[in-house]
Amino acid sequence: MQRIRLRYTKRGRLRFTSHRDFQRALERALRRSAVPMAYSAGFTPHPKVSYANAAPTGVASEAEYVEIGLAEARDPEALRAQLDESLPPGLDVIDAVEARTANFVERLEASEWQLRLPGVELDEAARAVAAFLASEQVEVRRMTKNGVRVFDARGAVSVLQVLPPQVGDGHDTATERADDVRAGTPCAILRLVVRHATPAVRPDDVLSGLRATADLAPPVPAEVTRLAQGPLDEETGTVTDPLALDRAAAVAAQ
């Protein structure tokens, strides 16, 4: 069985799709593309598809991962293009490699997020970030299916910083910034790197922590985008490519 690891996005209005919505869309794309899927054994066989650490509904992402098992070998790039064409715009398959290493999920150590806060001044955001980082522990509450859970949102945060207005990364577009300026609307942008821990600390938990420590309450919901997830370089605070080891193994095998 050949295993292929895919990186896909959730962009624009498609950020409101749930994980189950994407599962259904991918299943249709696999059938439409006639991908030779491998199936599990047993009374009710299922296609071998494994999802890793999906982003919450309503959150955009540039770094979602799924692994599929094939009964026949295929070229990863050709398969990527085939699936991308069969998925709606916004659910874009942007990378594919043959799985040549184990423990892929364990390499997803952290996520880098962009939090866009319309209506929040830069200095207000900077004061809130400083107060959050100065706290040894920031307790937040989240409603779960088992009731309210209280946990620390500070310990999992590796990096939290306010980006200067001139910094752009392709996701906060120049047009959006110009629109904000013309409308006289301030907009602070935060860069957040958070370790994957138990319980998982999500961007909305950090926003709750900013509210608790500095009374930062954006007038409209934050626009959240996951930019990367993978191994965490603690020295630089950057999240690196989790598919790099598979690419290196493929080169070594040639």
Residues 49 and 120 in one domain: no
Q: What is the pLDDT of residue 172?
A: 47
Which pLDDT band, with edges at 50, 70 and 90, does 181 fall under? very low
Spatial separation of the C-alpha atoms in residues 155 and 137, rounded to whole Å: 7
Spatial separation of the C-alpha atoms in residues 31 and 140, rounded to whole Å: 43
Question: In this structure, what CATH number is given to the domain that contains residue 150?
Answer: 3.30.70
Q: What is the CA radius of gyration of the chain?
A: 20
Count of the separate structural domains present in the chain: 2
- Residue 240's alpha-carbon distances to 109, 110, 111, 136, in angstroms, are 10, 9, 10, 27
The residue type found at 100 is R
Quick: pLDDT tens for 96-149. Answer: 999 999 999 999 999 999 999 999 999 999 999 999 999 999 999 988 777 888
In a domain, 183, yes or no: yes
**CB contact at 8 A, 185 and 148:** no
In a domain, 254, yes or no: no
Q: Which helix (H) or strand (E) holds 157?
A: strand 157-162
In a domain, 91, yes or no: yes
Domain range for residue 151?
Answer: 108-239
In a domain, 246, yes or no: no
Residues 132 and 74 in one domain: no
Q: What is the pLDDT of residue 184?
A: 65
What percent of the chain lies above the pLDDT cut of 90?
81
Which pLDDT band, with edges at 50, 70 and 90, does 89 fall under? very high
Q: What is the pLDDT of residue 145?
A: 78
Question: In this structure, what CATH number is given to the domain that contains residue 60?
Answer: 3.30.70.580
- Residue 64, both tokens: 């979602």
Q: Give, in degrees to the nearest 5, the angle at Cα 192 between 188 and 194.
A: 160
Burial 144-162 (b: 16+ CB within 10 A, else e): eeeeeeebbbbebbbbbeb
Q: Mean pLDDT over residues 182-209, rounded?
A: 90
Q: What is the pLDDT of residue 178?
A: 46
Residues 68 and 122 in one domain: no
**Averaging pLDDT over each range in 181-185, 186-190, 196-200, which range is the top one?**
186-190
